[in-house]
Amino acid sequence: MAISTTTAAELTAEQVQSILVKPLEQQSVFLAAGPRIFDTDGSPVRIPKLGSATSPDWYGENELIADEDVDFDEVTLLPSTIKSVKTLTRFSNELARQSVVSLDAAIKDRLVKDVADKLDTAFIAGTGDTGTTPTGILNYAGAQEVDEVGAIGLDAILDAWGLLLAANANIASTKWLMRPETFVALRKIKSGTDSNGYVLTPDPTQDGVFRLFGSQVIITNRIPVAADETSAVLADFSQIAVARDQAPTVKILDQTFGDYDQQAIRVTARYDAAPLNPEAVVVLKGITA
**Does some domain include residue 181?**
yes
Write out pLDDT tens, residues 134-157: 999 999 999 999 999 999 999 999
**Does some domain include residue 134?**
yes
What is the C-alpha to C-alpha distance for residues 232 and 146, in angstroms, rounded to an integer? 10
Q: Which domain holds residue 246?
A: 33-51+69-288
**Does some domain include residue 60?**
no
Q: Which of 90, 51, 101 has its CA nearest to residue 259?
A: 90
Edge-first strand order for the sheet with 211-212 is 144-146, 281-288, 229-236, 174-178, 215-219, 211-212
DSSP state of 82: P
Report the number of distinct structural domains present in the chain: 1
**Does some domain include residue 22?**
no
Mean pLDDT estimate for the chain: 91
**Does some domain include residue 186?**
yes
What 3-state DSSP class applies to 15? coil
Q: What is the pLDDT averaged over residues 255-270?
A: 96
Q: What CATH code is carried by the domain that includes residue 125?
A: 3.30.2400.10
**Does some domain include residue 187?**
yes
Write out pLDDT tens, residues 153-209: 999 999 999 999 999 999 999 999 999 999 999 999 988 766 668 888 766 676 677
Write out pLDDT tens, residues 87-135: 999 999 999 999 988 999 999 999 999 999 999 999 999 999 999 999 9
**Does some domain include residue 2?**
no
Q: Which of 97, 112, 82 has its CA nearest to residue 266?
A: 112
Q: Which of 70, 36, 38 has its CA nearest to residue 51?
A: 70
**Does some domain include residue 83?**
yes
Q: Is the pTM of this model over 0.85?
A: yes
Per-residue pLDDT at 17 exceeds 60: yes
Per-residue pLDDT at 1 exceeds 60: no
**Where does the pLDDT of residue 3 fall: very low under 50, low under 70, confident under 90, or very high at 90 and above?**
low
Q: In which region does residue 150 sit, left (phi positive, over 0), alpha (psi from -120 to 50) or beta (all else)? A: left
